[in-house]
Structure 1
Amino acid sequence: MASKFSVLSMKIEVETDVTAESWANREQLKQAFVVFNQASNQLSEIYHELQQQVTRLTQELARTNQELQHELAAKKTLSQQLSQLLTALPGGVVVLDHQGCITRTNPAATRFLGEILLGAAWQQIKQERLQKTDEAGEWWVIKKEAAQIHVNVRRVFIENSVSDTTGESILLLHDITEAHALREQNRRNQRLAAMGEVAAGLAHQLRTPLSTALLYAGHLADETINIQNRGSFAAKTIERLQYLEHLISNMLQFVRGEPVSVGKVKLSAWLRKLQRVMTSQMQQRQLRFVVEDNSKGASLQVNQDALSNAVINLLDNAMQIAPAGSLVSLVCEATADQVKLVVSDEGPGINPALHEQVFEPFFTTRTEGTGLGLAIVHNLIRSMQGEIWVEATTEVGARFVICLPR
């Protein structure tokens, strides 16, 4: 009996364990389904968000493509307009790469220079078809026809602009043939007007020394005058005639308007030569002459004779008025873009009210002055694109300043 009860007890315990295990598995399965549902919902939400992002990105991409197409169409239109503008420009355009080879031209450039091969070196084209003038940036175009070379057919002004991004150079060619002709005509008219003004003033200037020379020459014809007095009158006649010759030479130099050739003038060498020329003349007048060279090896592209004439004229004026034993100085200073020449003396100086007037033709404060010296200097300096003025000073004497571009 006891054994039957034990078997029954064991059977109930086994069935109870199986039932408990089944319930545990069901709970785990439920939890698994819950987790699965949660993951499924999360995946659905993520998928939905991804679909929305794809839709949004697709729309943005479509808008961007549309904008790019509009920009491309606008750039194409702009390129066509620029091409049409380049073709219609009256000025020539030549585009060079960073090696100086031609990559593009317009019809005006071809009309100016003749047929230009793309890829050709611009330096070669310039050597073959252009000739430099005395004016900066201006060139004569050389035309070759039937083995003949025609120069001065057309005059062009060339500007160079370099791109910071691509390194390309854009050359702009302006036809200034007519403008140059008008400029030369204006110069001739100005010279004619100046000649008229000078002739009127010269007649007045010539009258006194010519009358004096005629008077002395008349005495030479008087047989009652002894030989010694004749010699004195002859010397005075020659002196007056030489003065007339000097006056006429100054007048011719003042009205001369022909262009002069320019070259490289090394200032240090030029100053040394000028000092050698002027020192003896200064010593004869018992003057101290000092040249201060602060040019630092600089040079100028000017006509050396014109520059020398201008400075010597100023030094000669200083010699005429400076008292014996005083100082006459010439100082040269150079910067990156200009050269300054200063001529100073210790004479009576110039009234500040006359600083502008002293450069006018026939204005002089000296009895024996022609009034053309400073006018000539002014014209010479202006022909070199320079400036000259009288500098105000609290010290004795006068100070003339010449400023020339490098």
Structure 2
Amino acid sequence: MPDPQTDTATQKSQGLEEAFDLFIEASKALEAQQAVLQGQLNELSSQLIAANSRLSSLLNSLPAGVILAEHDQLIDFNPAAAHFIPELTKGMPWKIPGTWKSSNSPGDHLRRQDDKQQTTQIYEVKAGITGAAGEHSRQLADKQQILQILEVKTGARSVIQIQDISSAIANRAEEERMSRLTAMGKMSAGIAHQLRTPLSTALLYASHLADQNITDDQKQLFADRLRKQLISLEKLASNMLLFLKQRPQQTTPVAVHELLEEACQAAQGLSQERNIELKLSLECPHTLVNVEKHSIISAFVAILENAIQVSEPGQLVEISCHDQPNQTEIIIEDYGPGIAENMMDTIFEPFSSGRVTGNGLGLSIARSNIESHRGQILVSNRPNGGARFTISLPSLTEL
């Protein structure tokens, strides 16, 4: 009889051998898979190295500067970034240098190089949003560099891009200048018409003054009328020069409420004469805008005077402002007849006026002044009657 213990041992031995064989086969399969994975890993590593090399070459050849920061500490940057900001070093904290001066838009800054250098350059740096360098004159285009900085944050990591947009801004300024000159060419007939009437009237009053037969009272009357016509001519000439004026030269941070209050004071004489109440409502008492003060105030006054002129005695002209992301919105509304549909598309064009006594330059100048500060002006009719002018200007951080 077979020994049961021997059979059991034999079965166990065979089971171990089979398990060992399976282990060997599994190990070989794993080794094969590991070899395939290692090959794929090596291939991916090679591709990653090649991609990093291409990316590095691309970043190093870019005219735009690229900075990588983590927890606000500089990790790396390309040569263009070092060219724009020579003081950059790895490990330093990323911040806008304190020597740079604020410009006329949120995050904008100016930096002037040492006057001892051969070429004095003005650097305008814009963080967060894009836009034109409105306050620089075309004559300084060859002495300035305009840099645009855009920062994108992903958690603790930031990617900062610096781009030189000087040529684009200079081209845009030149296009705007040529557009104004073209507009003046188209306005020639309108200018002649605008000048002819007050000039003819002034000549008539001047001829009366030369008449020896009129009384002193009549001479005084004609002298006053002549003075008014000459003032009208002088105002027209000034308005045409304002229309052709270049971008604002000197901007300063000004509170929005201060601009609106001064504009209302300037228009108060006309509003009282016509019995129109100016109602000012401020929802942005601490908002600042970087502007050429008198230029923006004159734009507001032109819109206010237009609203007052079309209003009936006893009506209101309402002025309000509201904070929006990176900008402030000013709304001027009247309760007059509104804007005719055939004038809606031309209301800001020179000599486009629905009033007999208007010369049609006020709103053109207002738009020019606002847009030169990288702002925007829109017009619409209110649902219940009257016109609404909406002005948007880039705003600075609130106090």
TM-score normalised according to structure 1 size: 0.80
Structure 2 residue 106 is matched with structure 1 residue 106: no
Mapped contact 1:191–1:257 kept (Cα < 8 A): no
- Counterpart of 2:150 in structure 1 is 160
SS at match of 1:348: coil
What secondary structure is seen at the aligned counterpart in 2 of 1:358? coil
Aligned-residue CA RMSD (Å): 3.1
Greater alpha carbon shift after TM alignment, 242-251 vs 176-185? 176-185
The aligned amino acid for 1:89 is: L
Structure 1 match to 2:345: 356
Cα–Cα, structure 1 residues 84 and 43, in superposed 2: closer, same or farther, change >3 Å?
same
Distance 2:393 2:102 in 1: 21
Tell me, in whole angstroms, the C-alpha distance in 1 between the residues paired with 2:261 and 2:112. Answer: 40
Aligned partner of 1:284 among 266, 273, 283: 273
Match of 1:385, SS state, is coil
| Amino acid of the structure 1 residue aligned with 2:351 | F
How many angstroms apart in 1 are the aligned matches of 2:114 and 2:283? Answer: 48
- Mind listing any 5+ residue stretches in structure 2 that lack a counterpart? 123-142
Name the residue aligned to 2:120.
Answer: 150
Alpha-carbon shift at residue 51 of structure 1 (Å): 1.5
Q: Which deviates the most, 57-66 or 168-177?
A: 168-177
For residues 336 and 180 of structure 1, the distance between their equivalents in structure 2, rounded to whole angstroms, comes to 24
SS in 2 for 1:343: strand
Calculate percent identity across the aligned residue pairs: 31
Q: Is 1:334–1:340's contact at 8 Å kept on the other side of the alignment?
A: yes
Query: Match for residue 71 of structure 1?
Result: 44
Q: Deviations over 1:361-398 (max 9, x none)?
A: 01222222111111111212222333323312343433
TM-score (norm 2): 0.81
Aligned to 2:391: 402
Work out the CA distance in 1 between the residues paired with 2:310 and 2:318: 14
Deviations 1:159-198 (A, max 9, x none): 3343526x34333333334334333333332333334344
Alignment of 1:2-401 (within 5 A): 30-101=3-74, 103-114=75-86, 116-123=88-95, 126=97, 134=104, 143-144=113-114, 150-152=120-122, 153=143, 155-162=145-152, 164=154, 167-279=156-268, 281-295=270-284, 297-401=286-390
Q: Offset of 1:339 from its aligned partner?
A: 3.3
* Residues 253 and 376, structure 1, Cα contact 8 Å, conserved in 2: yes
State the 1:98 CA deviation.
2.6
| Matches of 1:112 and 1:149, distance apart in 2 | 15
Asked whether the equivalents of residues 104 and 290 of structure 2 are also in contact (C-alpha less than 8 Å), the reply is no
The 1:296–1:44 alpha-carbon spacing in structure 2 relative to 1, beyond 3 Å, is: farther
CA deviation string 1:101-140 (max 9, x = no partner) = 3x3333334444557544445547x556x77655777777
Question: Which secondary structure state, in structure 2, belongs to the residue aligned with residue 223 of structure 1?
Answer: coil
**Cα distance in 1, alignment partners of residues 262 and 341 from structure 2:** 33
CA separation of 1:307/1:109 partners in 2, compared to 1, >3 Å: closer, same or farther? same
**Structure with bigger gyration radius:** 1
AA of the residue aligned to 2:78: N
The Cα offsets for residues 330-350 of structure 1, whole Å up to 9 and x where unpaired, read as 232333354333322233332
Which of 154-163 and 218-227 deviates more? 154-163
Give yes or no for contact 1:329–1:343 (8 Å, CA) kept in 2.
yes
Q: Which moved more, 1:174-183 or 1:274-283?
A: 274-283
Measure, in 2, the Cα distance between the counterparts of 1:373 and 1:145. Answer: 41
What SS is found at the alignment partner of 1:239?
helix
Instruction: Write the distance in 2 (CA, Å) between the matches of 1:113 and 1:371.
Output: 48
Q: Relative contact order (alpha carbons < 8 A, sep ≥ 6): 1 or 2 greater?
A: 2
Cα deviation, 1:281-318, whole Å, max 9, x if unaligned, reads 42332222222223375443444333322221121122
Give the Cα–Cα distance (whole angstroms) in 2 for the partners of residues 168 and 342 of structure 1.
39
Structure with the higher fraction of residues in helix conformation: 1
Name the count of aligned residue pairs: 375
Q: Which residue of 2 aligns with 1:6?
A: none
C-alpha change, 1:150 and 1:397, in structure 2 (3 Å) is: closer
Q: Which residue of the partner structure matches residue 11 of structure 1?
A: none
Amino acid at match of 2:274: R
> In structure 1, what is the Cα distance between the partners aligned to 2:368 and 2:49?
55
Alpha-carbon distance change, 364 to 338 in structure 1, aligned in 2, over 3 angstroms: same
CA deviation after TM superposition for structure 1 residue 238, in Å: 0.7
> Aligned with 1:80: secondary structure?
helix
Structure 1: which amino acid aligns with 2:201?
T
